[in-house]
A and B are shown apart, each in its own frame.
Chain A
Amino acid sequence: MELTLREFWTVIHGMGLGALFLLAFAGGLAGLWSLRSELVTAGGVRERLPRLEVGTWVMAVVAWLTVVSGTYLVYPWYRAKVPTSPRSILLADPSRAEWHNFGMEWKEHVAWLAPILATAVAYVVIYYGPRLAHEPRIRKALIVLFVLAFAAAGVAGVFGAFINKVAPTA
């Protein structure tokens, strides 16, 4: 049960960091959704807010680590100009070329939207603190940004998983 260095970092990037972001999304969304003055007492807001603040900032940091590790560690191995690189393997087979031309080309770009949007959410959560429960318009905007960050990360995660299945970074 050995992993090469490249396989190890590919796992860290995708199954470690990327998966952590996607899984934490559910908790963050529930936290934002339920932070309403009509649903939670002042004490409840005080109890939930630290969790939401830590959670959104951890997600933002994890998103940054995911895209940086992907772009600067895994991606160079993927696109190396050698016949055995995943990119070369995919493009050499017309039946698999679209995994690169569509899948990877979309994934490598759209993923970077996730940390930018997630950071905005985390900042605004910290900025408003308990008053966020009384700012429905701001909270709704944060939920939308949060969902869009998840969508971007989700696209990147799905295509990353499939591409690594079809042409592993070994």
Chain B
Amino acid sequence: MSIQTTTTQPDDRAVATEPMVRPVPLAAPRPSGPAAAAVLAAGIGSFTLGLMVVLSEASAAVGAALTWSAAVGPLSGKTGVTVLVWLVAWLALGLAWKGRDVDFGKVWTATLVLIVLGFLGTFPLFFDLFAAG
């Protein structure tokens, strides 16, 4: 789309100037819900991993229950539960927030807290505090 503009010369003559080109309009804004769902689900998944590590250290029974593969040991269940919870959370939040705008600020704050806890839970000096026996 272009608009022909004119300018006034010192002798009051109106002359045509270069056409003014408008930038291409953007697509309509997208609701923040689906993006927030993906972000928060990542936080929930991160937290779940930290939690699984701590629980596995705290309880031999939990560690045994998380041994889904003998070759891999409890790590198989810790990460397996993590991935399952992450995907279910993403699906549930995605459906709940589909087409909606949500308070991304609050979602982001919650996500950061969950991720920090997840990192903390995977840190040996932390989860060793909960080691059984």
Residues of A within 8 A of B (CB): 41-42, 67, 71-72, 75-76, 79, 101-102, 105-106, 108-110, 112-113, 116-117, 119-120, 123-124, 127-131, 134, 137-138, 141, 144-145, 148, 152
Consensus secondary structure, chain A interface: helix
Instruction: For residue A125, give the distance in angstroms from its CB to the closest CB of chain B.
Output: 10
Question: B48 to chain A: closest CB distance in Å?
Answer: 9
Which residues from chain B contact A72 at a C-beta distance below 8 Å? 69, 71-72, 76
Neighbour of A124 across the interface among B38, B73, B125, CB < 8 A: B38
CB distance from A58 to the nearest CB of B (A): 18
Contact status B122-A106, CB under 8 Å: yes
Kindly identify which residue among B23, B32, B72, B76 contacts A42, using a CB–CB cutoff of 8 Å: B23
Q: Is B133 an interface position by the 8 A CB rule?
A: no
B interface: dominant SS: helix
Q: Which residue of B75, B108, B125 is within 8 Å of A109 (Cβ)?
A: B75
> Is B46 a contact of A138 with CB atoms below 8 Å?
no
Smallest distance from the beta carbon of B54 to chain A beta carbons, Å?
Answer: 10
Instruction: List, in ascending order, chain B residues with CB within 8 A of A127's CB.
Output: 30, 34-35, 38
Q: List 26 A-B contacts (CB under 8 A).
A: A42-B26, A71-B72, A71-B79, A72-B69, A72-B72, A79-B73, A102-B125, A106-B122, A106-B123, A109-B75, A109-B78, A110-B122, A113-B49, A113-B122, A116-B49, A116-B82, A119-B42, A120-B42, A123-B35, A124-B38, A127-B38, A131-B26, A131-B27, A137-B105, A138-B104, A152-B119
Number of A-B contacts (CB under 8 A): 94
Q: Which residue of A lies closest to B126 (CB)?
A: A106
* Known contacts A71-B75, A72-B72, A120-B38; A134/B26 CB under 8 A: yes
